[in-house]
Amino acid sequence: MRKIKVVLLGPMPPPSGGVSTHLSRLLARSQFEEDMQMSVIDLRRLKLHCATETSKNLFALVRTFLFADIIHFHLSRKLKLRLIQIARFLGKKVVYTHHNSRNLSDRITLSTMGLSHQIILVRPVIDVLPVELHARCQVIPAYLPSISIGTVPKELREQFAGKRIIFAHCYQKKNETLLVDGKDLYGFDLILDALEILLQNKFPEDCLLFLADPANGMKDVYKERIDELVDIYKSNIIYWNKELDFSAALKYCSVLVRASRSDGDAVSIREALQAGVPVIASDCVERPEGVIGFSSGDAMSLSTVLSENLQNPTKKYFVQKDFAPQIFQIYRSLSDFVEKKV
């Protein structure tokens, strides 16, 4: 049986963000699909990832692209439109996933969608798109269960010991900081402001704020603010700017905070809900069942909800659907697709 050759274009860890985690897990899951052969091309590093090996051989990378049946784009850069144009010229079937709620009306995004045979949205935002795109859109959240869980570095385990961990995670790249109205998209500033409010009202001494920034994009931005909180309140704060296994870190955490000012369907939220870790998240978008909401951009609202959660902790598991089969089904439907102009 001839296998469907699928190439994913997008980032791979490290560092681990929502999109790179999604791609690495999708690649791992593809090994169990007998009719599929999947590869990932990480354009940042010009690196080819296959199920069992990786390569920086440029010839192998180009050959994989040329011989693919389906190219699945997970790119947010302007380059995506040019590459999709090339893929269509070469007669490839094209799938495009839009991983956030931003830029849905800009020319490059709409042109990219217009050239795609299938469009995957991680949130139900179809209504804001031109009606001619609706038939090609499916809403499929990016969460895929982890096949394996790693470990947390020993130095972190030692610092976590005996503490209640308030965990927040971001994926900001240096010189490409994502902002909403001039402010940090991931809302680390809000978390620090909320922490100060709590510290002024006798914050529990056994609590530790753990801010993970594996791409090391924001440490310089927040260093002075964190030093100030530590000096004035003797607060426990760890700013981690190295690679981190998110699933492994969750095992030590009392609560996950997602203070984002804009969002897609955050993989981290579903991961925490699946693990039974309480999740506090902004109401900038609809959230999955089980999330405790606070008013987006409001540090006082966040501090109130966080205080209530720390005083009355509850551990409840919210089983998350595995969305991989829906993605694989798209590939199978396209493998028998008779190309038409779109």
The whole-chain average pLDDT of the chain stands at 93
pLDDT of 342 reads 45
CA distance 244 to 156: 10
pLDDT tens figures, 287-330:
999 999 999 999 999 999 999 999 888 889 999 999 999 999 99
Tell me what pLDDT residue 155 has: 95
Please report which residue ranges of the chain form alpha helices under DSSP H: 18-30, 58-66, 79-89, 107-114, 154-160, 188-199, 219-233, 246-250, 267-275, 299-311, 324-335
Query: What Rg, from alpha-carbon coordinates, does the chain have?
Result: 21
pLDDT tier at 166 (50, 70, 90 boundaries)?
Answer: very high
Same domain? 133 vs 217? no
132 burial via Cβ count (<10 Å: 0-12, 13-18, 19+): exposed
CATH value at residue 116: 3.40.50.2000
Q: What is the C-alpha separation between 103 and 46, in angstroms, rounded?
A: 26
Indicate if 193 and 92 belong to the same structural domain.
no
The DSSP bridge partners found for residue 210 are 167, 238
Q: Are strands 47-50 and 36-42 parallel, antiparallel or unpaired?
A: antiparallel
Query: Are residue 165 and residue 290 in the same domain, yes or no?
Result: yes
Same domain, 161 and 139: no
Are residues 194 and 99 part of one domain?
A: no
* pLDDT surpassing 80 at residue 202: no
* Sign of the four-CA dihedral 3, 13, 257, 153: positive
Mark whether 198 and 137 lie in a shared domain.
no
- pLDDT value for 73: 98
Co-location of 112 and 241 in the same domain = no
> Is the pTM above the cut of 0.85?
yes
My answer on whether 174 and 122 are in the same domain is no
Q: In 118-258, where does DSSP find H-type helix?
A: 154-160, 188-199, 219-233, 246-250
Q: Are residues 48 and 89 in the same domain?
A: yes
Q: Are residues 77 and 191 in the same domain?
A: no
* Higher per-residue confidence, 342 vs 53: 53
Q: Which domain holds residue 83?
A: 4-144+322-335
Residue 181, classed as helix, strand or coil, is: coil
Over residues 134-145, mean pLDDT: 96
**Structure tokens, 172:** 């900001």
Range 224-242 average pLDDT = 96
Does residue 341 lie within any of the structural domains?
Answer: no
Rounded-to-10 torsion of CA 105, 108, 113, 114 = 100
One-letter amino acid of 65? F
Letter string b/e over residues 148-186, b meaning 16 or more CB atoms within 10 A of that residue's CB: eeeebeeebeebbeebbbbbbbbbbeeeeebebeeebbb
> Given a cut of 90, is residue 211 above it in pLDDT?
yes
Q: Structurally, how many domains does the chain consist of?
A: 2
Q: For the chain, what percent of residues have pLDDT higher than 70?
A: 98
